[in-house]
Structure formats: C-alpha cells, structure tokens
Amino acid sequence: AQSVTQPDIHITVSEGASLELRCNYSYGATPYLFWYVQSPGQGLQLLLKYFSGDTLVQGIKGFEAEFKRSQSSFNLRKPSVHWSDAAEYFCAVGVNTGTASKLTFGTGTRLQVTL
C-alpha cells in the first residue's frame, strides 16, 4: 500500500535561514507528488507538484522541491525563510484506486520561524 512519511514533526528556523522539509514516499508505480501548506484553522494550499520530467520543480512563494527516485524522496526547500512561512506543510502522493484517484498525505511538519 502507498504511504508518505514526513519524519520531522516540528522544525524551527530563523528568519532568513534556509529550509528543507523531508518527505519519503512508498508507491509501486510512478509517483505523482504534491506539497501543500496549511495556516492555522485554514484549508490547504498547493505549493507545487511533480508529475514527470525535470526533477527539480518550482512552486509558489519561492519554494522548490527535488524528486529523487533512488531515495524515494521529494524534499521541499526554500533558500531564505520569511516569518510568514510559519505553517504546517504536508507532502502527498496521488494514488489510483480503480477508476478513482485520491491523495495520501503524510502527517505533516509544523514550521516555526523565529525572528
């Protein structure tokens, strides 16, 4: 069965510092991967997605992610974090279930930004 692992529950970084959030997936076929961000009490917003092609994908708000098939990873990065990036981040894999499709999510990483 498919699964997504986000090993870091909580990360704290200083404003201006670089960020990397880890995501590992398990899926038998070609993975379709997503990163979402959630502010407290809000819905999820898509940051970026990987379907095929270039393994380094660019997203909104200055985020990027690199797909590494050999490591089954899809880590999210940002060169310089802003205080407004404080939120919870979710990695997800798109899964087929017969004629349907759905997302399987990791448990999330909460990012705290110190000034």
Partner 1 sequence: DGGITQSPKYLFRKEGQNVTLSCEQNLNHDAMYWYRQDPGQGLRLIYYSQIVNDFQKGDIAEGYSVSREKKESFPLTVTSAQKNPTAFYLCASSIRGYRRTEAFFGQGTRLTVV
Q: Does 108 bind partner 1 (CB under 8 A)?
A: yes
Sole binder of partner 1 in the list 25, 34, 63, 74 (CB under 8 A): 34
Q: Which DSSP helix (H) or strand (E) runs through 109?
A: strand 109-114
Neighbour tally for 13: CB within 10 Å: 17
User: How many residues interact with partner 1 (rule CB under 8 A)?
Assistant: 27
Q: Does 99 bind partner 1 (CB under 8 A)?
A: yes
Backbone angles phi, psi at 105, to 5 degrees: -105, 155
User: Among candidates 5, 18, 3, which has minimal Cα distance to 111?
Assistant: 18
Q: Does 68 bind partner 1 (CB under 8 A)?
A: no
Residues that bind partner 1 (CB under 8 A): 9, 32, 34, 36, 41-46, 49, 51, 90, 94-97, 99-108
